[in-house]
Amino acid sequence: MPASARHHRALAVFVHCLGILAAAPALPAVAPEAATAPRPAAVTPQPAATAPRPAAVTPPPAATTPRPTASAPRPTAVTPPPVAVAARAPAAASAEPTPPSAPPAVAPPSRVPASVPPPPVTVAVATESSPAPRYRIHVRNVGNAPLDTTVRQELPSGSSPTAISGGGRSSRSGGSTAEVTWRLRLPAHSTTTVGTALTAAAPGQPLTAPACAFTSDGTRPYDCASATWQAGGAPAAEITEAPPWRRYPVLLAGLGVLVLLSALVAWVWRRRRGRRVTAAALAGSGTPDGGRGTIYPRAASPSPSRRRRTPPVWLLVGAAVVVVAGVIGTAGWTATRQASSIDTQKQPTSGAWMGTGVSGPVGVPLRESAFEFTVYRMSCAAGAASGSGAAPAAGRRCQATVGVRNVTGAEQPWHGQLQRAYLPGGRWVSTDEPATRAANLGRDVFADPVAAGSRAVLPLVFTVDGRDPPRQLELRSGVFSAGVRVQMP
């Protein structure tokens, strides 16, 4: 073929190769190479990305001048790399709007019970071994700065103070129960001791008197404690237990045995006396001649038949009456003791209830399935404004200072609707949660579970109607818990 045709064909093959090289970066298989190219190199050729297309079109016109362009293929072989780089730039530019992959999702943190900071003031109550009830209250400031506090000791029902130390004064809490109040200034890291002596309502009866340390205004408790005084330090079981010979069943049984023994002795004595009389009669029934024989024999007489002697009827009837009376008396006394030991205020604890329901007075720790509750005091006043607004005209706010201890090995939730105050007549009200939140400085004490082994002293507020204070508090950890019941004085 002519030389010009060969040059044209070689030029056409070369142009097709350039086109293939320019289109190769746009193929899907080469897309990852464009993604790995550095961003500055892909950005800088961006203005020249439109220029390669005219440069790629210019070679076909050069095909009309075979002679001058015969030696041009080699110089033009150097120009494709910019075209290839420019062709790769759109691929990199098209991949740039793709945002980077998001970091893996982080699981939300688990609900951890809120840690309650230790109180700056701690309270400890101890009793003395004395004929009359005496208490010592130790108030300690564990902080680094001095602070003012108000200490209140709740007095048992029916007792009154006979001696108060440290400048305290006696007053009435809510017009129902008596209390002793001290206003103390506690230096940093110091302990102050105050005490009281009370009159016992009943000799030998145990008395429990709790004490609490409040803020200077007397509204929010720092810490509380309680102690029970025993007469002479002797346990209550030794005082109330009677000796065996003074118990009614033992006395009745002894009386019955004594009557039976007396009847037996009388029967034996009468039987022996009858035998002696018969023997004497037989011995003195001889003939008139002194036992000497007669000429004419005496006709034989039949010997009298002997009857078997039995105890008299009156003895048998009396013994039976004594035995029946003893059995009836013992059964009646036992049934009376068992009936008197039944607490009619307890709710049934079988079936779906968890644990055993217990009852007790103010200041005594009472344990249920998960918590140990201690009610230290109850104070009722007229309704006042709080976070939820003013109380009703006929209602009052009663604030109970309650200690809560988690006795289990895991965190335990509790709910305000399960804590109830029972009013006279059987009516009850649940915790006023907005007022309780306001009394705890805006903290919702029911929002977080109670940590394992932790203890907290919290004010719980109940809104009641009428003038009568609550007669009983019912506290529980869960819906199916038997709970505890605290009798108000």
Asked if residue 279 belongs to a domain, the reply is no
Alpha carbon 446 to its chain's center: 12
Asked if residue 113 belongs to a domain, the reply is no
Confidence of residue 470 (pLDDT cuts 50, 70, 90): very high
Please give the pLDDT value at position 288.
Answer: 52
* CA 355 – CA 372 distance, rounded (Å): 12
For residues 346 and 243, which has the higher predicted lDDT (pLDDT)?
243
Please give the pLDDT value at position 456.
Answer: 92
Regarding whether 375 and 335 lie in a shared domain, the answer is: no
Please give the pLDDT value at position 268.
Answer: 82
Say whether pLDDT at 198 is over 80. Answer: yes
Please give the pLDDT value at position 307.
Answer: 62
257 backbone dihedrals φ, ψ, rounded to 5°: -65, -40
Of 214, 232, 250, the residue at which a domain comes to its end is 232
Regarding whether 217 and 142 lie in a shared domain, the answer is: yes
Regarding whether 220 and 141 lie in a shared domain, the answer is: yes
* CA 87 – CA 83 distance, rounded (Å): 6
Asked if residue 304 belongs to a domain, the reply is no
325 backbone dihedrals φ, ψ, rounded to 5°: -65, -40
Of 232, 250, 285, the residue at which a domain comes to its end is 232
Among 168-177, 339-348, 393-402, the range scoring the smallest mean pLDDT is: 339-348
Asked if residue 308 belongs to a domain, the reply is no
Q: 161: closest CA among 125, 118, 197?
A: 197
Regarding whether 159 and 65 lie in a shared domain, the answer is: no
Regarding whether 162 and 67 lie in a shared domain, the answer is: no
* CA 59 – CA 414 distance, rounded (Å): 87
Asked if residue 242 belongs to a domain, the reply is no
With a pLDDT cut of 70, the percent of the chain lying above it is 61
The reported pTM is 0.54
For residues 463 and 294, which has the higher predicted lDDT (pLDDT)?
463
What mean pLDDT do residues 234-262 have? 65
Mean pLDDT score across all residues of the chain: 73
Regarding whether 400 and 332 lie in a shared domain, the answer is: no
| Residues facing residue 177 across a β-bridge | 173
Regarding whether 131 and 42 lie in a shared domain, the answer is: no
Which CATH number belongs to the domain containing residue 421 in this structure?
A: 2.60.40.1240
Say whether pLDDT at 472 is over 80. Answer: yes
Q: Where are the alpha helices (DSSP H) in 299-446?
A: 313-340, 433-439
Say whether pLDDT at 387 is over 90. Answer: no
Which CATH number belongs to the domain containing residue 160 in this structure?
A: 2.60.40.290
Asked if residue 421 belongs to a domain, the reply is yes
The number of folded domains in the chain is: 4
Asked if residue 106 belongs to a domain, the reply is no
Regarding whether 401 and 332 lie in a shared domain, the answer is: no
Q: Residue 219 sits in which domain range?
A: 121-232
Regarding whether 327 and 373 lie in a shared domain, the answer is: no
Neighbour tally for 73: CB within 10 Å: 15
